[in-house]
Structure 1
């Protein structure tokens, strides 16, 4: 029997599995980056002249109050409902149905009031609708 203490074996670091994993990751990254170039959209942006912006389109402003009252181009609409709003929008459009319509509704306005404006715009033939909003204010510190 051999009772002499054994010398502890020095620990070995096996680098082969580490290298295998790194090669797999490297191959994956190489393949994924080469395909991303082919999936990009090629977009040619239009060019605008500053001279064309001299006559911006006149928009129609519709304001909706919290109580459901309407004003078209800062003129109160006398008749309530879609019919009065349709007549006011038709007068404001003056036959130019390409003009954009900007709807500026109060935050507390009923959803139906905004839908009435959209319905009146559809009846008149105004198809370019935009909703106005304001930036949220950060709390004072």
Structure 2
């Protein structure tokens, strides 16, 4: 009786289906996370004004939404009091008080929230504060000519 070795008949195979599934999930994950934009998180309706836009690419961004909540760059201030805003501004900005600050407040923001932001910036020593506005409809119509 001849005893055969069945191991020689078994061909090793690599199943690619799980590998393709994992790669597709990773691609979808990276595509979705790459499209996140901090500006798309908050919907702000900026007040209208005429004037030339300034270059604010290096500015510290302070956002105030319609409910009066504060956001410094990409960090949300958990409470809406002056001390919390000052501590978050100090953490994000570090020791650089010469850095320009771009204050972006929703047009529907309570005036007290904007005053509190100005107060916190002034107490910390920031002197170069700009307010973000949207171009007025009249200015846009004049540019179209």
Q: Is TM-score (shorter-chain normalized) higher than 0.5?
A: yes
Taking a change above 3 Å as real, the CA distance of residues 71 and 120 of structure 1, as seen in their structure-2 partners, is same
**Aligned residue number for residue 122 of structure 2:** 122
**Aligned residue number for residue 79 of structure 1:** 79
Could you tell me how far apart the structure 1 residues matched to 2:86 and 2:116 are? 9
How many residue pairs were aligned? 85
Asked if the contact 1:63–1:104 (Cα under 8 Å) also holds between the matched residues in 2, the reply is: yes
Cα deviation, 1:73-116, whole Å, max 9, x if unaligned, reads 02111122111100111112110100011100000001110000
Please say which structure displays the higher CA radius of gyration. Answer: 1
Asked if the contact 1:60–1:93 (Cα under 8 Å) also holds between the matched residues in 2, the reply is: yes
Could you tell me how far apart the structure 2 residues matched to 1:103 and 1:61 are? 6
Could you tell me how far apart the structure 1 residues matched to 2:62 and 2:76 are? 10
Q: Could you list the structure 1 runs, at least 4 aligned residues long, displaced by more than 4 angstroms after superposition.
A: none
Matches within 5 A, 1:36-115: 58-115=58-115
Asked if the contact 1:57–1:99 (Cα under 8 Å) also holds between the matched residues in 2, the reply is: no
Cα deviation, 1:14-33, whole Å, max 9, x if unaligned, reads xxxxxxxxxxxxxxxxxxxx
State the TM-score, normalizing by the size of structure 1.
Answer: 0.55
- Structure 1: gaps (5+ residues): 1-55
Q: Secondary structure at the match of 1:71?
A: strand
Structure of greater relative contact order (alpha carbons < 8 Å, 6+ residues apart): 2
Q: Secondary structure at the match of 2:97?
A: coil
- Structure 2: gaps (5+ residues): 1-55, 139-145
